[in-house]
Amino acid sequence: MSLLSIEGLVTELRNAEDRWFAAVAGIDLAVEPGQTFCLVGESGSGKSVTALSVMGLLPERRHRHPRGRVVFHPVDHPPMELLSAEQAQLAKVRGGAIGMIFQEPMTSLNPVLTIGEQLNEVLRLHRPSLGASERRERTIAALDEVSIPQPAERVAEYPHRLSGGQRQRVMIAMALICEPRLLIADEPTTALDVTVQAGILRLIRELQERRGMGVLFITHDFGVVAQIADSVGVMRRGELVESGPASAVLRRPAHDYTRSLIAALPERLPRPPARQPKPEPLVEVDQLSVHFPVRRGFLRRVVDHVRAVDGVSLSVQPGEVVALVGESGCGKTTLGRALLRLLPVTAGELRLEGRDITQLPPRALRPLRRRMQVVFQDPGSSLNPRLPVLTTLTEPMRVHGIGADDKERRRRAAELLERVEMPADSLWRYPHEFSGGQRQRLAIARALVLEPRFVLCDEVTSALDVSVQAGILKLLRRLVDEHDLGMLFITHNMGVVEYLADRMAVMRNGRVVESGPVARVLREPEHEYTRTLLAAVPRLASGDEARG
Amino acid sequence: MSEPAVRSQPLSRQVLAAVLARTSARLGLAWILLLVVLAAFAPFIASSQPLLMVASGELSFPVLNYLTPIDVLWLAGFILAAVVMAARLRAPLALGLWLAGTGLAGLLALVLLEPPVLTIHEQYRERLAAGEIDRLVFAPIPYSARDYLRDYGDTGVEPPLAADARRHWLGTEENGADVASRMIHAARIALGIGFIATGIALFIGAIIGGLMGYFSGIVDIIGMRLVEIFEAIPTLFLLLTFVAFFGRSIYMMMVIIGITSWSGYARYVRAEFLKLREQDFVQAAIAAGLPLHSILFRHMLPNGMAPLLVAASFGVASAILAEATLSFLGLGLVDDPSWGQMLNQAVQSATFNWWLAVFPGGAIFLTVFAYNLVGEALRDAVDPHTRAGKAR
């Protein structure tokens, strides 16, 4: 008998218009003790709803289960049907025999309680027989188990003193403190840097082997699946299109959808032949520094500086994509914004087509702005929600005197929409009517409207599903090649770098530690940090498969 | 290229729909609309001058001869607002057209209209009694706000429907004027002071707050000190002082309430702008080299407007209350009708005149309540955490 078996589960949710729709449309899966079942799929495929259904955590009166059974059957307990269980019984199982970890480590812990108190509370609820000193011992042991340094001192810390990775470790400790038989992890590493992610994945693996618990692991990342899964289920629109042992599904996917998902991974996209970039540099950054003052005290005196960017040099040539990679907080976004003069530069020099623009006053800079444009990360906030697409696209043209009249500008805007593969009637729509990928295309169109020579892309695909990301990446590469653009592409995704970039620079703590052609840096990294970073990237083993 | 048949809904329309979906907000808006209609058409609803007169075979419309520039301004404002709304123009354009049209109509009226300096309210009643007039059509309430019924001799405070010869639905006040008529004319003052005082405050607050939020740094520090200074001024006492020194003027009151209450709006706009400045679309607008006025007023202000509107609807209510308080204290307008002043009369004479307390008091209560209902519905509609906000 499996530890957790889901049989024909259907979960219907009620949307804002009071209509029921099936978020999970009849899936069957089984989690065995000591094994990891990975549920993968794109956003909206119903993988999180499945996990919440099992835990009974969906909002009351807004969900229902017309069909299906979820049976939880640990070895020394009678089987239990979770969908029909009483709330009181469920509450006993949740956090006790079933542990759960969520995606967002920053908000999963209560900020006004110390981590010790929060762990203690779980024990008090589920192990009422333990005394206070025993509970404290267990708490410290649990923190030790998830490799929090100096656990005896750290129990008295508040969550804000811990980093994101440490908070996720505390969440794991909390899920595991009552020694659950089943762990449900919903994208537990998505918000974390790759090196931190590697540590967390290793930890989950180790704890699982030591305890023999079953894990239901939800992710969208095939690299993570390859690292951790024993069995895999691929979900699309509430249905499980394919499931089976991880090695079989990943190596020889049977279903078209699985195949298309794996083919859409950026490192597997067929790369167009690299062209020789023109030698004259388009954008040059020379020993650039951006420091933010730290002010303290009554008179707000400057006591120190945060060196967000500290003496970085790089250059971008027309027709090439330079990737800037690094983990969160390394200063890559700050560098990008300073490069566009959106942030003041502390020291160093910026040259655009040979002209020094470092200290150019705003008025003199304005006509040059059209030469360099930007596309941002968050598709939700990158377009003005109050303006229709037409206005967003034509206003910059009018300001810079592109196009003779409004008619001409409207024609240009329509042309651009076609070039970014958007329907022509998008012009009269508002941003909220588009999906994330479509909005990113619109943001690209807005950047291209001014016919720039240089485009900065700041994590433009990191909020998107892998198949959508593939479309955007292909578009960007085509635009760079067709228009001889220079592009600085900020990302943390090595697969994207591999597909898109010609050269790359690795940043850490405000400095560039290594730079060079992508093929060389990825294959023979010279710097220690680059090696660590590359080793931490979860990858789908590709040795036995022909690369496109 | 032709425009497609389906145009999508801008956010403002969706917010409006979410507000209108609430019964309480609909009731509040209905009451405010009723007040606006009464205020705009006051001369045709309550006036001693007949709407239509046939005397010695000649047809005339005496009420039109007595229209003042203010009457024309209200009428023009109302009709233009209806026209502009029916035309479904974009909000900034509609507002501009309305302001320009109403202002022009007011100016024209000021130049062209010459209402009689001396108004003899009772003349038509007397001429009718003398048989000089063949036919008269009076307004539904045939008494002007300042018609003290001198022809009826010794009139004073009378409860509703007390006199035999006259019909006063809501009684009369201490000078003998009809309470219903005075209340209808007083609606103008209540609405006017609410809108103009809040308009002034919004204008100053949006500009100062916007500059503070966008530039931050030293501008922000100076601006915040200015906000704190203005927050320390007690509006009511400043009003009292000004009334004592410079006499009573409704316009002065509007301006003083306006320039002492902008600080709250400035705080709101500042906070919104601080947040918006970091938004990607604003950064993209800067990167596109758009001019400052476009970034501030096209890309930032419309997105930071929602909390401002909510605060404004509460601000209108408090401006109305301030005027009512002042009038109640006997420092309001001298001869012009006002709800607060009627409340004052309710407690001034030896007996308690309930109709002078209940009707104007009820009107003040309902108006303030209505603005609060609308404000609350607006707040929920623009708040993405509530369901009404989420539905969009």
DSSP string covering A71-114: EE--TTS--EESTTS-HHHHHHHBTTTEEEE-S-TTTSS-TTS-
Question: What pLDDT, on a 0 to 100 scale, did the predictor assign at position A65?
Answer: 87
Residues A474 and A294: their CA atoms lie apart, in Å, by 42
pLDDT at B50 over 60: yes
3-state secondary structure of B218: helix
Residues A223 and A254: their CA atoms lie apart, in Å, by 19
- The per-residue pLDDT for range A47-89, each reduced to its tens digit, is 888 988 888 888 888 888 888 888 888 877 788 888 888 888 8
Average pLDDT over chain A, rounded to an integer: 86
Inspect the interface and report whether the beta carbons of A369 and B289 lie closer than 8 Å: yes
Contact status, residue B381 vs residue B7, Cβ threshold 8 Å = no
pLDDT category, B387, cuts 50, 70, 90? very low
pLDDT category, A130, cuts 50, 70, 90? confident
Question: What pLDDT, on a 0 to 100 scale, did the predictor assign at position A489?
Answer: 93
Inspect the interface and report whether the beta carbons of A450 and B285 lie closer than 8 Å: no
H or E stretch at A234: strand A231-236
Tell me the pairing of strands B52-55 and B135-137.
antiparallel
CATH classification (class only), A4-263: alpha beta
B contacts of A340 (beta carbons < 8 Å): 287
Question: What number of other Cβ atoms are within 10 A of residue A213's Cβ?
Answer: 25
Give me the residue label for tokens 């299109």: A241
Give me the residue from A365, A381, A410 closest to B280, CB to CB: A381
- Exposed/middle/buried for A79, CB within 10 Å: 0-12, 13-18, 19+? exposed
3-state secondary structure of A514: strand
pLDDT category, B38, cuts 50, 70, 90? very high
Strands (E), A317-442: 321-325, 347-352, 355-356, 372-375
pLDDT at A548 over 60: no
- The mean pLDDT of B245-257, rounded to a whole number, is 85
Q: What percent of chain B has pLDDT over 70?
A: 94
Give me the residue from B10, B284, B392 closest to A376, CB to CB: B284
Inspect the interface and report whether the beta carbons of A446 and B298 lie closer than 8 Å: no
- The mean pLDDT of B249-266, rounded to a whole number, is 88
Inspect the interface and report whether the beta carbons of A399 and B387 lie closer than 8 Å: no
Taking CB atoms within 8 Å and a gap of at least 24, the contacts of B22-25 are B22/B377, B22/B380, B22/B388, B24/B373, B24/B376, B24/B377, B25/B373, B25/B374, B25/B376, B25/B377, B25/B378
Residues A539 and B241: their CA atoms lie apart, in Å, by 77
A contacts of B298 (beta carbons < 8 Å): 387, 395
For chain A, domain boundaries = 4-263, 318-344+352-536
Contact status, residue A233 vs residue A240, Cβ threshold 8 Å = yes
Q: Which one is predicted more confidently, A50 or B2?
A: A50
pLDDT at A182 over 80: yes
Contact status, residue A388 vs residue A429, Cβ threshold 8 Å = yes
* CATH assignment, A318-344+352-536: 3.40.50.300
The fold of the B25-41+154-390 domain, in CATH, is MetI-like fold (1.10.3720)
Inspect the interface and report whether the beta carbons of B283 and A376 lie closer than 8 Å: yes
Residue of A340, A381, A384, A425 to mutate, testing the B interface (most B Cβ within 10 Å of its Cβ): A384
- The mean pLDDT of B310-326, rounded to a whole number, is 86
- Exposed/middle/buried for A88, CB within 10 Å: 0-12, 13-18, 19+? exposed
A contacts of B387 (beta carbons < 8 Å): 16
3-state secondary structure of A30: strand
Question: What pLDDT, on a 0 to 100 scale, did the predictor assign at position A232?
Answer: 92
pLDDT category, A541, cuts 50, 70, 90? low
In sequence order, the β-bridge partners of residue A349 are A286
User: Please, what sign has the CA dihedral across residues A121, A123, A126, A127?
Assistant: negative
Give me the residue label for tokens 């108004």: B119
Average pLDDT over chain B, rounded to an integer: 85
| Amino acid identity, position A97 | A
| Among candidate residues A57, A42, A9, A87, the one with its CA nearest the CA of residue A184 | A57
- The mean pLDDT of B266-293, rounded to a whole number, is 90
pLDDT category, A363, cuts 50, 70, 90? confident
Question: What pLDDT, on a 0 to 100 scale, did the predictor assign at position B37?
Answer: 94
Task: Record the pTM.
Answer: 0.79
Q: What percent of chain A has pLDDT over 90?
A: 18
pLDDT category, A547, cuts 50, 70, 90? very low
Looking at residue A229, the DSSP 8-state letter turns out to be -
Question: What pLDDT, on a 0 to 100 scale, did the predictor assign at position B5?
Answer: 37
B contacts of A490 (beta carbons < 8 Å): none
Range from A538-547, B37-46, B146-155 carrying the lowest mean pLDDT: A538-547
pLDDT category, B384, cuts 50, 70, 90? low
For chain B, domain boundaries = 25-41+154-390
Task: Take residue A65 and report the two structure tokens written for it.
Answer: 């289960």
Strands across the sheet with B135-137, in order?
Answer: B58-60, B52-55, B135-137
Gyration radius (Cα) of chain B, Å = 24
Inspect the interface and report whether the beta carbons of B281 and A384 lie closer than 8 Å: yes
Inspect the interface and report whether the beta carbons of B1 and A400 lie closer than 8 Å: no
- The mean pLDDT of B361-387, rounded to a whole number, is 82
Query: Helices marked H in B130-234 — which ranges?
Result: 179-215, 217-231
Asked whether this complex has an ipTM greater than 0.90, the answer is no
Question: What pLDDT, on a 0 to 100 scale, did the predictor assign at position A90?
Answer: 84
Q: At CB < 8 Å, which residues of chain B contact A?
A: 1, 3-4, 6-12, 279-281, 283-291, 294, 298-299, 302-303, 387, 390-392
User: Which chain A residue has its CA at the smallest distance from B389's CA?
Assistant: A16
Question: What number of other Cβ atoms are within 10 A of residue A432's Cβ?
Answer: 15
Q: Which one is predicted more confidently, A270 or A375?
A: A375
Q: What percent of chain A has pLDDT over 70?
A: 97
Inspect the interface and report whether the beta carbons of B288 and A425 lie closer than 8 Å: no
pLDDT at A505 over 90: yes
pLDDT at A486 over 70: yes
Cα dihedral angle (B340, B343, B344, B346), rounded to 10 degrees? Answer: 170
Question: What pLDDT, on a 0 to 100 scale, did the predictor assign at position B173?
Answer: 85
Residues B374 and B386: their CA atoms lie apart, in Å, by 16
**Residue A17 CA to chain centroid, in angstroms?**
30
pLDDT at A543 over 60: no
In sequence order, the β-bridge partners of residue B46 are B141
User: Please, what sign has the CA dihedral across residues A417, A419, A421, A423?
Assistant: positive
